[in-house]
């Protein structure tokens, strides 16, 4: 039997690669450029990507033999799903694999924003013994607003309950009953914005959610709110976000995701008011292992 031509255009684990090799002809090109991929794609039958590779309509038009794109992870916003659907190309992902890791990073960022851990580390290593300026706030007793009560949002709420946070969640597609069961108060977006001390975003990037939080939404927030975004940068209107930091509406923000490939100069210039991580949400040994296992299952279903 002829084996399927599989191209991994982003990194996959060695274990997954070994098992996939038993099912097809696998080529690993984890740093391939979009131009090189466009040249190669005509022969590829299964394309494996993470978030780096953009599966554009141009790439899909050139992919004459493509049967499926597997996104190792959750977000599908790097894939032109309409173009793929028109060509009958399947889109698969491994959505459950990174949940725990993203939720844990989110809570870590919240703790860090509240207690200035990273700033304290930088300060002490610069030779200072600065306590006053690094005094923080507790999480306990504060209100956390979770926007998007899916896998990650729900897991963040479970972890946050242990810190004594009161939790509001906004998700028009999730039931009130489900939130009640999780000891979370279902709320409208306006209520969440005006009552939360910390706001964390956990919605996918779609046409509906792009710029979900803009000037109007920032102005409804409490003065000195803390923002955590480990979902997608474009959920926040970039200029409105900068302006909210400049006028102190946002006291501090932690971001794992950016409007361009990297943080802008303007964002970096905010210094300690922003805490930045390089898209580390699912970068754990455990998430990588789960992604690898699920990836192998997805390929198995296709061959």
Residues in the site for ligand NAD, rule: CB under 6 A? 73-75, 95, 98-99, 102, 147-153, 170-174, 202-205, 208-209, 230-232, 256-257, 279, 281-282
* Helix, strand or coil, per DSSP, at residue 194: helix
Shortest CB 150 distance to ligand NAD, Å? 2
262, 266, 261, 265: which is closest to 240 by C-alpha? 266
Q: What is the DSSP code string of 120-143?
A: HHHHHHTT----GGG----STT-E
Q: Which tokens sit at 35?
A: 């131009």
Shortest CB 31 distance to ligand NAD, Å? 19
| Choice between 202 and 288, CB closer to ligand NAD | 202
Give CA–CA dist 265/164, Å, rounded.
36
| Choice between 129 and 173, CB closer to ligand NAD | 173
Shortest CB 269 distance to ligand NAD, Å? 23
* Helix, strand or coil, per DSSP, at residue 62: helix
Shortest CB 148 distance to ligand NAD, Å? 3
| Choice between 45 and 217, CB closer to ligand NAD | 217
Q: Each residue of 153-190: b (16+ CB within 10 Å) or e?
A: bbbbbebbeebebbbbbbbeebeeeebeebebbbbebe
| Choice between 4 and 9, CB closer to ligand NAD | 9
| CA dist 105 → 33, 41, 111, 301 (Å) | 29, 35, 10, 31
Q: Which tokens sit at 21?
A: 């090799």
**E strand spans, 53-162:** 68-71, 90-93, 143-147
Given a contact cutoff of 8 angstroms between Cβ atoms, the answer to whether 290 and 94 are in contact is yes
Shortest CB 154 distance to ligand NAD, Å? 7
Give CA–CA dist 184/154, Å, rounded.
9
| Choice between 189 and 303, CB closer to ligand NAD | 189
| Choice between 100 and 166, CB closer to ligand NAD | 100
Q: DSSP state, 236?
A: B
| Choice between 123 and 284, CB closer to ligand NAD | 284
> In the complex, which residue's CB is closest to ligand NAD?
150
Shortest CB 246 distance to ligand NAD, Å? 25
Shortest CB 157 distance to ligand NAD, Å? 11
Backbone angles phi and psi of 275, in degrees to 5: -115, 120
Angle in degrees, CA 101, 106, 110, rounded to 5? 150
| Choice between 26 and 294, CB closer to ligand NAD | 294
Q: How far apart are the first and last CA of the chain?
A: 11
Shortest CB 58 distance to ligand NAD, Å? 23
Q: Which tokens sit at 63?
A: 């992919």
């Amino acid at each position: 039997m002829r084996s399927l031509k599989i191209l991994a255009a982003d990194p996959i684990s060695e274990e997954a690669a070994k098992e996939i090799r038993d099912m097809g002809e696998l080529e690993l090109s984890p740093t391939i450029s979009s131009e090189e991929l466009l040249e190669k794609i005509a022969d590829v039958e299964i394309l494996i990507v993470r978030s780096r590779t953009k599966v554009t309509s141009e790439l899909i038009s050139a992919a004459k033999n493509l049967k499926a794109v597997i996104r190792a992870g959750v977000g599908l916003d790097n894939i032109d799903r309409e173009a793929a659907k028109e060509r009958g190309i399947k889109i698969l992902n491994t959505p459950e694999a990174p949940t725990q890791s993203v939720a844990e990073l989110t809570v870590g960022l919240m703790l860090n924003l509240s207690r200035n851990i990273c700033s304290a580390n930088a300060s002490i290593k610069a030779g200072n013994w600065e306590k006053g300026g690094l005094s923080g706030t507790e999480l306990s007793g504060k209100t956390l607003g979770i926007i998007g009560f899916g896998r990650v949002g729900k897991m963040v709420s479970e972890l946050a309950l242990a810190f004594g946070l009161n939790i509001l969640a906004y998700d028009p597609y999730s039931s009130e009953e489900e939130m009640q069961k999780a000891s979370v108060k279902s709320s409208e977006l306006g209520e969440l914005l005006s009552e939360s001390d910390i706001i964390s975003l956990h919605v996918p990037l779609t046409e509906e959610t792009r710029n979900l939080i803009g000037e109007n939404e920032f102005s409804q927030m409490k003065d000195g709110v803390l923002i955590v975004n480990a979902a997608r940068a474009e959920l926040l209107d970039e200029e409105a976000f900068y302006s909210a930091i400049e006028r102190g509406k946002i006291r501090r923000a932690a971001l794992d995701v950016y409007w361009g490939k990297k943080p802008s100069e303007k964002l970096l210039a905010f210094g300690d008011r922003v805490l930045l991580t390089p898209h580390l949400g699912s970068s754990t040994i455990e998430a990588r292992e789960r992604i690898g296992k699920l990836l192998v299952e997805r390929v198995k279903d296709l061959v």
